Amino acid sequence: MPAEWEPHQGTILTWPHDEAHWPGLFEHVPGIIARMVKELEIGEEVHIVTHDAVVEESAKKEMSKAGVVGKNVHLHRIPSNFPWVRDHGPIVVKNEKGERIFLDWLFNAHGDQWKYDKDDKIPSQLASTLQFPVRQIDMVLEGGSIDVNGKGTLLTTENCLLNPNRNPSFSKEKIEQHLKENLGVTHILWLKEGIQGDDTSGHVDDLTRFVGPRTVVTVVQEDPNDPDFAPLQENLGRLKTMKDQDGNPLEIIPIAQPKPVYVSEHQPTKAKVTEKEGFRIPASYANFYIANECVLLPVWNDPKDADAISTLQKCFPGRRIVPIDSRILTWGFGSFHCLTQQQPK
């Protein structure tokens, strides 16, 4: 599996259409997706899964309003449930000849949390549409639960991959075997827990990300009274002892978490009141997406936004850093990395 910063042919998205994740706020979400497409199309193809003709037409209108040129944008009418393509979409790997293969892992909606019968079928259907070979893998795995450096090292979390709501009959050794055999990694690094509000059992893409072959950015909490302080310190402590596939210690760049973000703080006056009001959402600067020409970075109307922008710009000096307010989007418990999946060149 290539690193995310390696050249892409394109980015895969699944267009949102179900209000279940954003009650009262859904009307704002398609415009955010369209903004993403506008930024992505500059440097690569954008392949968008659209649920049906109605969703396809809506996507076209939103992209037109956002100023999307559309030359590099391709719509594929495939039924879907939710837009988190990082988790339900294909993970694309390359074999020794450089040929690309779409991996179709099992998907159970982060531990059977919602109906996912359509999402689970998307990798194979998209592989057929794009005419790529597909490999079925008998293991539940979401793309947001792993991060790789493209050289043989993979980062993940115990709280997610070892959770009995994923692969209850698999030992840690069997999970590692599947990862090594199918992703071409040789070295697996285990962090522990995720952050508050994360409904994925602790995806690593809200915590720690490779930004170079042996360099990671990792979120830290500065307030010792915050519930995230101790788990993130635990992860930081582990990172300081970790080495890459060649035995080199990791270079660690901390990024401070924004102040806690709650649904009630950004709920429009006329929005439907739900049980989510007052719920802390998983606000993290780590859920960025590295595209060919830019980095889509979630920001939170917080003074720490500027530091996160500066840090990512230093990590990717040749790319535009595109900060986009993610407060409404992340009421759905995901951000830009969750909404994207790279297709390597």
- Note whether residue 310 is domain-resident: yes
Contact 190, 242 (CB under 8 A): no
Nearest to 116 by CA among 21, 30, 203: 21
- Note whether residue 1 is domain-resident: no
Nearest to 198 by CA among 155, 229, 228, 158: 228
Four-residue CA torsion sign, 231, 232, 238, 241: negative
- Note whether residue 58 is domain-resident: yes
How far apart, in whole angstroms, are the C-alpha atoms of residue 170 and residue 191? 18
Please name every residue paired with 280 in a beta bridge, in sequence order, or none if there are none: 262
What does the block give as tokens for 224? 């010792």
Nearest to 116 by CA among 106, 108, 124: 108
Residue 236: in which H helix or E strand, if any? Answer: helix 229-241
The catalytic residue among 160, 294, 315, 338 is 338
How far apart, in whole angstroms, are the C-alpha atoms of residue 70 and residue 37? 9
241, exposed or middle or buried, with CB in 10 Å at 0-12, 13-18, 19+?
Answer: exposed
Give me the pLDDT at residue 264, please.
Answer: 57
- Residue indicated by tokens 């809506």: 58
Nearest to 98 by CA among 160, 9, 18: 9
Structural domains counted in the chain? 1
Averages of pLDDT over runs of 10 residues in the chain (345 residues) are: 98 94 89 98 98 97 97 98 97 96 96 91 97 97 98 98 97 98 98 95 97 98 96 98 98 97 55 52 97 98 97 98 96 95 97
Q: Is 315 a catalytic residue?
A: no
How far apart, in whole angstroms, are the C-alpha atoms of residue 313 and residue 322? 10
Contact 306, 290 (CB under 8 A): no
- Note whether residue 61 is domain-resident: yes
Give me the pLDDT at residue 270, please.
Answer: 32
How far apart, in whole angstroms, are the C-alpha atoms of residue 137 and residue 183? 11
Contact 62, 30 (CB under 8 A): yes
CATH of residue 222: 3.75.10.10
- Residue indicated by tokens 């594929």: 76
Give me the pLDDT at residue 266, please.
Answer: 46
How far apart, in whole angstroms, are the C-alpha atoms of residue 250 and residue 237? 12
- Note whether residue 2 is domain-resident: no
Give me the pLDDT at residue 262, please.
Answer: 84
Give me the pLDDT at residue 19, please.
Answer: 86
Please name every residue paired with 137 in a beta bridge, in sequence order, or none if there are none: 105
For 167-216, how does the pLDDT look when each residue is reduced to its tens digit (9 = 90+)? 999 999 999 999 999 999 999 999 999 999 999 999 999 999 999 999 99
How far apart, in whole angstroms, are the C-alpha atoms of residue 197 and residue 167? 22
Backbone angles phi, psi at 303, to 5 degrees: -55, -25
- Note whether residue 207 is domain-resident: yes
How far apart, in whole angstroms, are the C-alpha atoms of residue 189 and residue 216? 12
Nearest to 106 by CA among 156, 168, 194: 168
3-state secondary structure 31-44: HHHHHHHHHHCCCC
Q: Which domain holds residue 56?
A: 8-344
Contact 238, 199 (CB under 8 A): no
How far apart, in whole angstroms, are the C-alpha atoms of residue 266 and residue 25? 10
Nearest to 3 by CA among 218, 183, 265, 223: 183
- Note whether residue 36 is domain-resident: yes
Predicted TM-score (pTM) above 0.75: yes
- Note whether residue 137 is domain-resident: yes
Give me the pLDDT at residue 274, please.
Answer: 41
How far apart, in whole angstroms, are the C-alpha atoms of residue 270 and residue 189? 46
How far apart, in whole angstroms, are the C-alpha atoms of residue 102 and residue 99? 10
